[in-house]
Amino acid sequence: MGEVTGRADGLDAWAHLWRAPGDPPRWVVWTTAGETLVFDVELNVPAPVEDALLPEVVRRMRAAGAPESDGYPGRACA
């Protein structure tokens, strides 16, 4: 029987998103009019989390205390 890795469900690649948020936090949950996204405040863009994984990633982020907002969480675009 082969060794089981933690990557079978693809979530391990996103584990950094639900660690305790820093100060200021890099990753936030952004709820727009039509969807919920993970937003990278440092890069000022939504994180490319696959649609199939997004609900579980957001759930884990919320459980870890990630900030959440319905206002744009990034800085003004140039």
**pLDDT higher at 9 or 7:** 9
Question: What is this structure's pTM?
Answer: 0.78
Write out pLDDT tens, residues 9-66.
688 888 888 887 778 889 999 999 899 999 999 999 999 999 999 999 999 999 999 9
Distances (CA, A) of 8 to 20, 42, 53, 73: 24, 29, 12, 31
- What is residue 16's predicted lDDT score, i.e. its pLDDT? 87
pLDDT of residue 50: 93
* pLDDT for the residue 6: 46
